[in-house]
């Protein structure tokens, strides 16, 4: 499923979520390389790493299609250097203005990273801009096929992350894979993917993967134990516990018949009924023999009460 | 500098790395021995060092540096060390005489803006900008420590912006290094501090995490050091390398050993 997502199976907002244990920028660059190989122009709005670090490792045919907006050098306009992209310019019009400078045709917008924007602008503003970018670009005559955003999941409150996940058409969470996977030089990772199709169906899957030189993904299989085993088909394999005992747990036929013939204690049968009727004819008598220590007083103790 | 730590990090004063952000982190213990290590390491390596010392006085660092074989006073005099003594500068902001025009105190955010660290960034940039007569190797910014800025009322976003601009100027443009100390706590309720720490973990190339032992104070083992070498994502996906050692701080040295292999136990 990761291969399909990288190959462009879904448009709209694609969120790549990473944590401090496992970085997600290499996966972001994999998506970028795949978009470029498909002939799309890729507009990167980079805020966290310098341009040369982002461009490193790409093939020449990818870098040709990469248009980098430098939000790293002076995003807050402290040094006043010209030519950069500041955080304030991240509006739908600002972004589509930068897109218009590129070639016509399908375009992919890459945000590295969305976390930087969320720390500097309120969440509703960022969400509105993300929603309006395709429309603003369409009114300028461009087609934005997808918006790839890198999000550092552990920098934001869980509610914010959930909000962005609900906006996204696909979410890929990157985490470390257990030791021993893949060959020695690989860095195996676990991708937890969620994809919302146009029909409304939601697909969720986990896969192991790694990223090779040139930012090509390589699938490493799926985690075992995630598919629940069908317990009905398991044969009953436990041994019979009543075999091989020194005492008898079974009943023979005569014993069984005798047991069935015993009436239950509270079962109201004809015999019980007749014994009860005989007993109620005579009143209950109590016979009491006082011994030497008893002090029997025949008077009624309540006689002196004036009630 | 501590020779054993250099061996563990595969670092040498003759060939210091360039363009790296190193995060020093401590939890339930005092990680300032790492600050002293890097201060003396970079001074011995011949780098120009800008030390933003917000926690202790100059004489405190000087005494310890002399034990490690470096004189901070001499380094200041020959122009290798630019020392911002936070304790004194803060005092000057409130009680000092009126500053001349053009001489803004780097810590003036304490009384004026409240949160904008732009003047401190400009102080760092002008200190480390190479002048013609300098023959020092790559510039280094050392900060001790960032959690103090949060305590002074700076917002976490402004602390991160300050480090961002320092990375642009020092690591990216001047090809120097930055070493920053932060305090952290695993189950901390201080969300602002955790935001700064996590954000720096994402950005740094090397994390040295000093932790107190979970079992409490021990005479022979003072703590545990996690060394996390972040894999670079420049060419392909790489693993983070994690190594854990325990350490004991002595008067002029820190010894490192594998967990459970303290000399007192063997």
pLDDT, mean of each 10-residue run, chain A (307 residues): 81 91 90 90 91 88 89 88 81 85 87 92 92 88 90 92 92 85 74 88 89 84 60 54 79 87 79 69 73 78 78
Q: What pLDDT digit, counting tens, does each position of B184-208 carry?
A: 887 778 888 999 999 999 999 999 9
Q: Number of A to B CB contacts under 8 A, please give it.
A: 65
Distance between B3 CA and the closest CA of chain A, angstroms: 29
CB under 8 Å to B25, separation ≥6 — which residues? B31, B181, B182, B183, B184, B197, B201, B207, B208, B209, B210
pLDDT at residue B60 is higher than 60 = yes
Partners of A211 on chain B (C-beta within 8 Å) are 236-237
Mean pLDDT of B86-103: 71
% of residues, chain B, pLDDT over 90: 41
pLDDT the model gives residue A282: 60
Which of A26, A79, A115 lies at the smallest CB-CB distance from B236? A26
* DSSP codes joined into one string, B31-64: -HHHHHHHHHHHHHTTEEEEEEE-SS-HHHHHHH
- Report chain A residues touching chain B, CB-CB < 8 A: 20-23, 25-27, 29, 48, 50, 53, 56-57, 72-76, 78-79, 115, 119-120, 152, 154-155, 186-187, 189, 210-215
Mean pLDDT of B147-165: 91
The more confidently predicted of residues B94 and B181 is B181
Q: What pLDDT digit, counting tens, does each position of A47-96 carry?
A: 999 998 899 888 888 888 899 989 898 888 888 877 788 888 888 888 88
Which residues, in sequence order, are bridge partners of residue B50? B82, B141
Reduced to 3 states, what is the DSSP secondary structure of residue B213? coil
By CA distance, what is A117's nearest residue in B? B157
How does the average pLDDT of chain A come out, rounded? 83
- CA angle, corner B161, sides to B156 and B162, nearest 5? 100
Q: Report the alpha-carbon distance of residue B123 to residue B127 in Å, rounded.
A: 6
pLDDT the model gives residue A90: 86
Q: What pLDDT digit, counting tens, does each position of A259-286 carry?
A: 888 878 787 777 777 777 766 556 677 7
Token pair 């999000």: residue: A151
> Tokens representing B110?
């304490």
pLDDT at residue B84 is higher than 60 = yes
By CA distance, what is A47's nearest residue in B? B164
Q: Do B237 and A26 touch (CB under 8 A)?
A: yes
Distance between A228 CA and the closest CA of chain B, angstroms: 31
Q: Report the alpha-carbon distance of residue A62 to residue A214 in Å, rounded.
A: 10
Backbone angles phi, psi at B195, to 5 degrees: -60, -45
Partners of B160 on chain A (C-beta within 8 Å) are 119
Which of A22, A56, A73 lies at the smallest CB-CB distance from B168? A73
Q: What is the largest CA-CA distance in chain A?
A: 123
Partners of A23 on chain B (C-beta within 8 Å) are 202, 230-231, 233
Partners of A2 on chain B (C-beta within 8 Å) are none
Helix spans in chain B (H): 3-9, 32-44, 58-67, 72-77, 86-95, 118-128, 146-151, 156-166, 191-203
Partners of A214 on chain B (C-beta within 8 Å) are 236
Distance between A36 CA and the closest CA of chain B, angstroms: 17
By CA distance, what is A218's nearest residue in B? B237
pLDDT at residue B101 is higher than 60 = no
Mean pLDDT of B70-81: 91
Q: Report the alpha-carbon distance of residue B210 to residue B228 in Å, rounded.
A: 11
pLDDT the model gives residue A226: 46
pLDDT the model gives residue A234: 46
Which of B165, B199, B235 lies at the smallest CB-CB distance from A56? B235
pLDDT the model gives residue A229: 43
Which of A22, A50, A57 lies at the smallest CB-CB distance from B236? A57
Partners of A181 on chain B (C-beta within 8 Å) are none
pLDDT the model gives residue A296: 74
Contact A167, A179 (CB under 8 A): no
Q: Do B168 and A187 touch (CB under 8 A)?
A: no
pLDDT the model gives residue A216: 85
Distance between B198 CA and the closest CA of chain A, angstroms: 6
pLDDT the model gives residue A225: 62
pLDDT the model gives residue A221: 80
By CA distance, what is A59's nearest residue in B? B235
Q: What pLDDT digit, counting tens, does each position of B29-57 carry?
A: 989 999 999 999 999 998 899 999 998 99
Band of pLDDT at residue B92, cut at 50, 70 and 90: confident
């Amino acid at each position: 499923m990761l291969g399909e997502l990288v190959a462009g199976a879904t448009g709209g907002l694609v969120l790549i979520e990473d944590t401090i244990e496992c970085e997600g920028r290499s996966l972001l660059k994999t998506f970028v390389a795949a978009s470029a190989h498909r002939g799309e122009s890729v507009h990167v709005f980079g805020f966290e790493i310098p341009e040369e670090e982002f461009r490193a490792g790409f093939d020449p045919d990818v870098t040709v299609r990469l248009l980098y907006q430098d939000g790293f050098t002076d995003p807050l306009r402290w040094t006043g250097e010209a030519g950069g992209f500041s955080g304030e310019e991240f509006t739908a019009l600002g972004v589509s203005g930068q897109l218009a400078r590129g070639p016509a045709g399908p375009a992919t917008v890459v945000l590295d990273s969305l976390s930087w924007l969320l720390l500097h602008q309120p969440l509703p503003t960022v969400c509105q801009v993300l929603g309006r970018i395709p429309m603003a670009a369409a009114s300028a005559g461009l087609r934005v096929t997808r918006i790839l955003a890198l999000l550092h999941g552990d920098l934001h409150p869980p509610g914010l992350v959930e909000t962005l996940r609900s906006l996204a058409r696909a979410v890929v969470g990157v985490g470390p894979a257990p030791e021993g996977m893949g060959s020695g030089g690989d860095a195996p990772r676990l991708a937890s993917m969620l994809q919302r199709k146009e029909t409304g169906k939601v697909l969720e899957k986990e896969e192991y993967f790694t990223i090779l030189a040139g930012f090509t993904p390589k699938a490493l299989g799926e985690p075992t134990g995630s598919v629940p085993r069908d317990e009905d088909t398991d044969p009953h394999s436990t041994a019979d516990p009543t075999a091989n005992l020194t005492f008898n747990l079974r009943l023979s036929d005569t014993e069984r018949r005798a047991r069935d013939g015993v009436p239950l204690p509270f079962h109201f049968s004809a015999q019980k009924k007749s014994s009860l009727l005989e007993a109620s004819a005579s009143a209950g008598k109590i016979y009491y023999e006082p011994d030497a220590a008893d002090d029997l007083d025949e008077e009624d103790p309540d006689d002196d009460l004036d009630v | 500098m501590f020779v054993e730590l250099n061996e563990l990090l595969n670092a040498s004063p003759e060939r210091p790395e360039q363009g790296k952000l190193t995060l020093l982190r401590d939890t339930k213990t005092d990680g300032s021995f790492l600050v002293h290590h890097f201060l003396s390491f970079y001074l011995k390596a011949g780098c120009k060092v800008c030390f933003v010392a917000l926690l202790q006085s100059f004489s405190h660092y000087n005494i310890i540096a002399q034990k490690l074989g470096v004189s901070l006073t001499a380094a200041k005099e020959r122009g290798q060390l630019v020392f911002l003594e936070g304790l004194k500068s803060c005092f000057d902001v409130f009680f000092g005489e009126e500053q001349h025009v053009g001489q803004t105190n780097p810590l003036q955010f304490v009384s004026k803006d409240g949160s904008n660290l732009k003047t401190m960034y400009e102080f760092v940039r002008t200190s480390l900008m190479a002048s013609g007569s300098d023959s020092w190797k790559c510039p280094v910014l050392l900060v001790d420590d960032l959690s103090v800025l949060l305590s002074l009322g700076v917002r976490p976003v402004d602390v991160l912006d300050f480090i961002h601009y320092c990375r642009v100027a020092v690591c990216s443009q001047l090809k120097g290094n930055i070493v920053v100390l932060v305090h952290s706590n695993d189950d901390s309720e201080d969300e602002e501090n955790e935001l700064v720490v996590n954000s720096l973990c994402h950005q740094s190339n090397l994390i040295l995490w000093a932790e107190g032992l979970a079992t409490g104070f021990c005479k022979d083992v003072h703590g545990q050091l996690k060394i996390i070498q972040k894999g670079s994502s420049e060419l392909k996906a790489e693993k983070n390398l994690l190594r854990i050692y325990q350490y004991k701080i002595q008067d002029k040295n820190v010894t490192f050993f594998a967990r459970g292999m303290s000399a007192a136990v063997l």
